[in-house]
Amino acid sequence: MGDWIIKLEDVSAGYGKLQTLFDVSLEIPRGLITVIVGPNGAGKSTLLKTMFGFTTVYKGRVLFENTDVTHMPPHDRAKIGMTFIFQLENIFRELTVYENLRLAGYDLPEDVFRDRLEEVFSMFPRLKERLGQKAGTLSGGERQMLAMAIGIMRKPKVFLIDEPTAGLSPKLAKEVLSYVRILNKEGYTVVLVEQNVKASLEIGDKGVLVVNGRIAFDGPAEELLARKDLAKMYLGV
Ligand SMILES: Nc1ncnc2c1ncn2[C@@H]1O[C@H](COP(=O)(O)OP(=O)(O)OP(=O)(O)O)[C@@H](O)[C@H]1O
């Protein structure tokens, strides 16, 4: 699948003494959408968190572009172009949409901030209409949109997004996945953890199936989608 942006080499990781990932080797292709799926508790989020430095790595290496980031703290990974969108609590509810965006770009010169804002509006026009509204009053889907917009303020090279459709109706979930597509169309690389297997693999390029902390499938998303055996066994679809 061409050039990679993140690479895991034989990584074992977990939380303190609890190991949840075992000997994982994986490449995240640049410019594409990679979707990570698997049963509950399989280690999908742990895999994503390991890319950003939220777990303990016991063995192996994590590379971002050509930098070894295995033991680099998350805030330093953010500085070199990674961004992580949490499932919940990814915006400041008491601040307006504008204030959330200004805060994300607090150190940007006014002209750069304006340019980024225009980029955000061209991708997500709805946010322009909601600028003065408190972020906590946005719908669940719009909050995910704002979380992505906050990410854009930093111009990251890769978005790591943890279950953005959790708790949303199937219709809203599809809408949120369409925002992920918009991000990717603008050139951003995306790694997405999803419970919404079918809908997410449909927008994905690469599909990764995690089972019991190991990679059970790694290949084109459409191929994973077509693997009825795996789907039945692990994905409940
Ligand atoms: N912060 C944490 N501290 C300790 N253990 C954790 C932590 N987060 C997750 N775990 C454990 O790691 C294992 C894998 O969890 P993970 O969240 O990666 O699974 P998942 O595949 O994303 O599942 P789900 O779809 O249910 O969120 C689970 O046993 C979980 O209890």
Which residue among 11, 17, 19, 20 is best mutated to probe the pocket of ligand 1, counting the most ligand atoms within 8 A of its Cβ? 20
Mean pLDDT of 62-86: 96
Report whether residue 195 contacts ligand 1, using a CB cutoff of 6 Å: yes
- Cα atoms in the 13 Å half-sphere on the side-chain side of 203: 25
In the chain, count of helices (H) and strands (E)?
10, 10
pLDDT for residue 69: 98
Report whether residue 50 contacts ligand 1, using a CB cutoff of 6 Å: no
Model confidence over 178-233: pLDDT tens digits? 999 999 999 999 999 999 999 999 999 999 999 999 999 999 999 999 998 887 77
- Is residue 142's pLDDT more than 90? yes
Residue 191 alpha carbon to ligand 1 centre in Å: 17
Model confidence over 167-180: pLDDT tens digits? 899 999 999 999 99
pLDDT for residue 175: 94
- Residue 85 tokens, joined: 């969108």
* CB-CB contact of 62 with 6 (8 Å): yes
pLDDT for residue 237: 63
Mean pLDDT, the chain, rounded, equals 94
> Residue 220 and residue 201: Cα distance in Å, rounded?
9
Sequence ranges of the domains in the chain: 92-155
Model confidence over 88-114: pLDDT tens digits? 788 999 999 999 999 999 999 999 999
- Residue 126 tokens, joined: 């709805």
> Residue 13 and residue 200: Cα distance in Å, rounded?
25
* pLDDT interval class at 9 (50, 70, 90): very high
Buried b (16+ CB within 10 A) or exposed e, 57-93: beebebbbbeeebbebeeeebbeebbbbbebeebbbe
End-to-end CA distance of the chain: 27
Report whether residue 66 contacts ligand 1, using a CB cutoff of 6 Å: no
Model confidence over 31-73: pLDDT tens digits? 999 999 999 999 999 999 999 999 999 999 999 998 999 999 9
pLDDT for residue 234: 73
* CB-CB contact of 103 with 117 (8 Å): no
